[in-house]
Amino acid sequence: MKSKPTIDAVLAGKIALVTGGTKGIGKAVVKRLELAGATVIVTARNQPEEPDATYTFIAADLSRAEEVSKVANIIHKQFGRIDIIINNMGANVYPGGGFSTLTDEHWDQALQVNLLSSVRLDRALLPAMLAQKSGVIIHISSTSSQFPIWESTMAYSVAKSALNTYSKALATEVAGKGIRVVTVSPGLNKTEAMTYFLEDYAKQSNISVEEMTQNLFERVGGVPMGRMAEPEETAELIYFLVSPAASYITGANLVIDGGNFPVVK
Ligand SMILES: NC(=O)c1ccc[n+]([C@@H]2O[C@H](COP(=O)([O-])OP(=O)(O)OC[C@H]3O[C@@H](n4cnc5c(N)ncnc54)[C@H](OP(=O)(O)O)[C@@H]3O)[C@@H](O)[C@H]2O)c1
Q: Total domain count for the chain?
A: 2
Is residue 154 domain-resident? Answer: yes
Look at residue 55 in the predicted model and tell me its pLDDT. Answer: 98
Atom of ligand 1 nearest to the CA of 62: 32
Look at residue 94 in the predicted model and tell me its pLDDT. Answer: 83
Is residue 6 domain-resident? Answer: no
Rounded to 5 degrees, what are φ and ψ at 86? Answer: -110, 100
Same domain for 200 and 97, yes or no, is no
State the CATH number of the domain containing residue 33.
3.40.50.720
What range defines the domain where residue 217 resides? Answer: 190-228
Same domain for 181 and 208, yes or no, is no
Q: What percent of the chain has pLDDT over 70?
A: 97
Q: Each residue of 52-102: pLDDT tens digit?
A: 999 999 999 999 999 999 999 999 999 999 999 999 999 998 888 899 999
Q: What is the DSSP track for the chain? A: -PPPPPGGGTTTT-EEEEETTTSHHHHHHHHHHHHTT-EEEEEESS----TT--SEEEE--TTSHHHHHHHHHHHHHHTS---EEEE------S-SS-GGG--HHHHHHHHIIIIIHHHHHHHHHHHHHHHHT-EEEEEE--GGGTS--TTT-HHHHHHHHHHHHHHHHHHHHHGGGTEEEEEEEE--B-SHHHHHHHHHHHHHHTS-HHHHHHHHHHHTT--TTSSPBPHHHHHHHHHHHHSGGGTT--S-EEEESTT---S--
Same domain for 138 and 243, yes or no, is yes
Q: Each residue of 103-116: pLDDT tens digit?
A: 999 999 999 999 99
Atom of ligand 1 nearest to the CA of 192: 19
Residues near ligand 1 (Cβ within 6 A):
20, 22-26, 43-46, 60-63, 88-91, 113, 140, 142, 186, 188-189, 191-194
Same domain for 66 and 122, yes or no, is yes
- C-alpha to C-alpha distance for 169 and 203, rounded to whole angstroms: 40
Please say whether the beta carbons of 243 and 11 come within 8 A: yes
Same domain for 167 and 249, yes or no, is yes
Decide if pLDDT at 264 tops 60.
yes
Same domain for 156 and 86, yes or no, is yes
Same domain for 136 and 101, yes or no, is yes
Is residue 67 domain-resident? Answer: yes
Look at residue 265 in the predicted model and tell me its pLDDT. Answer: 73
Same domain for 197 and 244, yes or no, is no
Atom of ligand 1 nearest to the CA of 143: 6
Same domain for 63 and 152, yes or no, is yes
pTM check: above 0.85: yes
Same domain for 119 and 246, yes or no, is yes
Nearest CA to ligand 1 atom 43: 20
Catalytic positions, written as ranges = 156
Same domain for 141 and 195, yes or no, is no
Same domain for 180 and 74, yes or no, is yes
